[in-house]
Amino acid sequence: MTTRIRLRRMGSNKRPFFRVVVADQRSPRDGRFIENIGKYHPLDDPSVIEIDQSRALHWLRVGAQPSDQVRNLMKKVGIWEEFVKERPSADAGPAKERTSKPKLSKKAKQKAEAAASEPESAPLQEAAAVEAEQAVAEPEIVEADAAEAVEAVADVPAEGSSAEEPEPPAADEPPAAGTADTEDA
């Protein structure tokens, strides 16, 4: 049978007070208990903490485990420090501190794994990306120069070619007969 030193809630709605009891671990919070060893009134100002030191030390010596709240109360009263003097290993044992792990989404985990798996090749990939950008930019310039050269060649008629473009009409010549002015209509 595992025994615990814990709080038993009593009092009315919104006016609780607690008894510090030694109980079987399997019994309900406000159910059967072995011994009442103190009381705790949190709403009083200052709060009342009364724990029978000799009985609490007796139960601690025979192996009863205090709950976290009762351990805090015993530290405030000074009972826990006296017990730790007798058994220094008791202070390191049952106190469980939870460490919070950063919670990541699936995408964030994948990115972290990818970054962790290839930290050495990352600078090489960045250099390759810069070179690729430069290589892509240079052909565009070359293509643009080639396009301008083709246009320039097309604008200049070759010598001796019979197909000449008609010259634009001079400003002093009247328009051709096929075009009608909008005023006549």
Q: What is the CATH number of the domain that holds 66?
A: 3.30.1320.10
- Looking at the structure, tell me whether residues 134 and 57 fall in a common domain: no
Q: Which DSSP symbol is given to 45?
A: S
| Cα–Cα distance list, 3 to 30, 49, 65 (Å) | 15, 21, 7
pLDDT at 96: 58
pLDDT at 103: 75
- Looking at the structure, tell me whether residues 82 and 33 fall in a common domain: yes
Alpha-carbon distance of 23 to 7, in angstroms, equals 10
Residue 179 lies in a domain: no
Residues of the chain predicted below pLDDT 70: 1, 92-98, 102, 119-185
Residue 70 lies in a domain: yes
Give exposure, 31-54, as e/b (b: 16+ Cβ within 10 Å). Answer: eebbeebbbbbeeeeeeebebbee
Six-digit token string for 113 = 């794994």
pLDDT at 178: 56
Residue 45 lies in a domain: yes
pLDDT at 185: 46
| Cα–Cα distance list, 51 to 8, 21, 180 (Å) | 13, 10, 117
- Looking at the structure, tell me whether residues 134 and 64 fall in a common domain: no
How many domains is the chain partitioned into structurally? 2
**Contact present, 21 and 37 (Cβ < 8 Å):** yes
Residue 171 lies in a domain: no
- Looking at the structure, tell me whether residues 131 and 64 fall in a common domain: no
- Looking at the structure, tell me whether residues 69 and 9 fall in a common domain: yes
Residue 69 lies in a domain: yes
Residue 105 lies in a domain: no
pLDDT at 73: 92
Q: Cα dihedral sign for 163, 164, 168, 172?
A: negative
Which range marks the domain in which residue 26 is found? 3-92
pLDDT at 63: 87
- Looking at the structure, tell me whether residues 134 and 56 fall in a common domain: no
Q: Are strands 3-12 and 48-51 parallel, antiparallel or unpaired?
A: unpaired
